[in-house]
C-alpha cells in the first residue's frame, strides 16, 4: 500500500509504502465506538448532584400534628413535595463511569482508526524538512495553512514524531488546532478527534514498529 509524501506546499513529491498489517486492516466501527466510549467514561467526573430528602438539612420535626388542622398530613418539611425539599431520583456525583478494557481490543481499535485515515486520505506523510524547524509559532503557521486550512475553517491535526530533541517542534504548542506527541505516546482519542494524522517520513518506520509490538 503506497501513500503520498508531501512537501511544505502539500504537493506530492514521491510515494512511500505502508505496512498493510497496521495501516490496511478492516475497520469495524462498533469496536472503535466501544473503545472510545469506555475511554471517555474512564476520565468522566460527574458534577451534577442533587440531595434527596435524607441529605437535605432540617425537617426533623413534624410540621404540624397529624389530625385536626384541616391541612394535608406531613411528616417533614424536606419531603420532595415541599419547596426546598429533597429531589427524587436526582443525579448523584457518586456514580462511577469507569470500565475495564481489553488491551488487545484497545490497540486493535487504534490500528483501525489509522487504517480508516489512510483509506480516506487523511493520513499525511510529510518530508522531514517540513517539520525540521517548528521552534517558533510563526514557523508553524504556514504548515497549518497548507495542511489544515480549508476555506475559513481550520481542521484539527495530530502530529506524531520520533525526534529525540523536541525543542525543534515546541512552536506547535501554541497552535490550538494542532496537537503533537511522540510515537510512543500515540492514543486513539487524539487520532479520533483530529481530522488529519501527520507523520514525518523518518518517523514512519518507528510508528510501524511500535504498532506491531502492541
In this structure, the answer to whether residues 112 and 170 fall within a common structural domain is yes
Residues 189 and 86 in one domain: no
144, 176: one domain: yes
Q: Does residue 107 share a domain with residue 30?
A: yes
Locate the DSSP E strands across the chain.
Answer: 2-6, 12-17, 123-126, 149-150, 153-154, 157-161, 178-182, 196-200
Do 82 and 129 share a domain, yes or no? no
Check residue 214 and give its pLDDT. 72
Residues of the chain with pLDDT below 50 are: none
74 and 122 in a single domain? The answer is no
Domain count, the chain: 2
What's the rounded Cα separation, in Å, for the pair 79 and 119? Answer: 59
Q: Are strands 2-6 and 123-126 parallel, antiparallel or unpaired?
A: parallel
Looking at residue 183, which CATH number applies to its domain? 3.40.1370.10
Are residues 27 and 51 located together in one domain of the fold? no
Give the model's pLDDT for residue 165: 77
Residue where a domain terminates, one of 96, 128, 160: 96
Q: Do 86 and 182 sit in the same domain of this protein?
A: no
**107-159 pLDDT, tens digit each:** 999 999 999 999 999 999 999 888 888 888 898 999 999 999 998 899 999 99
Spatial contact of 197 and 117, defined as CB atoms under 8 Å apart: yes
**Per-residue exposure over 150-164, b if at least 16 CB sit within 10 Å of its own CB, e if not:** eeeebeebbbbbbbe
Q: What is the pLDDT of residue 96?
A: 92
On whether the CB atoms of residues 178 and 196 are closer than 8 A, the answer is no
* CB neighbour class for 191 (10 Å; exposed up to 12, middle 13-18, buried from 19): buried
Q: Which domain holds residue 176?
A: 2-44+101-213
Are 184 and 92 found together in one domain? no
Amino acid at each position: 500500500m503506497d501513500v503520498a509524501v508531501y512537501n511544505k506546499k502539500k504537493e506530492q513529491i514521491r510515494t512511500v509504502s505502508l505496512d498493510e498489517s497496521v495501516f490496511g486492516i478492516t475497520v469495524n466501527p462498533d469496536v472503535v465506538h466501544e473503545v472510545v466510549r469506555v475511554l471517555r467514561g474512564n476520565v468522566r467526573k460527574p458534577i451534577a448532584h442533587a440531595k434527596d430528602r435524607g441529605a437535605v438539612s432540617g425537617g426533623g420535626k413534624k410540621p404540624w400534628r397529624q389530625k385536626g388542622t384541616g391541612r394535608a398530613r406531613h411528616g417533614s418539611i424536606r419531603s420532595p413535595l415541599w419547596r426546598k425539599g429533597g429531589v427524587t431520583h436526582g443525579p448523584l456525583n457518586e456514580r462511577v463511569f469507569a470500565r475495564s478494557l481489553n488491551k488487545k481490543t484497545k490497540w486493535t481499535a487504534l490500528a483501525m482508526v489509522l487504517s480508516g485515515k489512510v483509506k480516506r486520505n487523511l493520513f499525511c506523510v510529510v518530508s522531514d524538512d517540513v517539520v525540521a524547524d517548528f521552534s517558533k509559532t510563526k514557523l508553524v503557521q504556514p504548515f497549518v495553512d497548507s495542511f489544515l486550512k480549508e476555506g475559513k475553517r481550520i481542521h484539527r491535526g495530530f502530529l506524531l514524531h520520533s525526534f529525540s530533541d523536541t525543542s525543534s517542534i515546541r512552536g506547535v504548542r501554541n497552535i490550538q488546532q494542532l496537537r503533537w506527541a511522540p510515537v510512543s505516546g500515540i492514543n486513539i482519542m487524539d487520532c479520533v478527534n483530529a481530522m488529519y494524522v501527520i507523520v514525518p517520513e523518518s518517523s514512519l518506520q518507528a510508528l510501524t514498529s511500535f504498532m506491531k509490538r502492541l
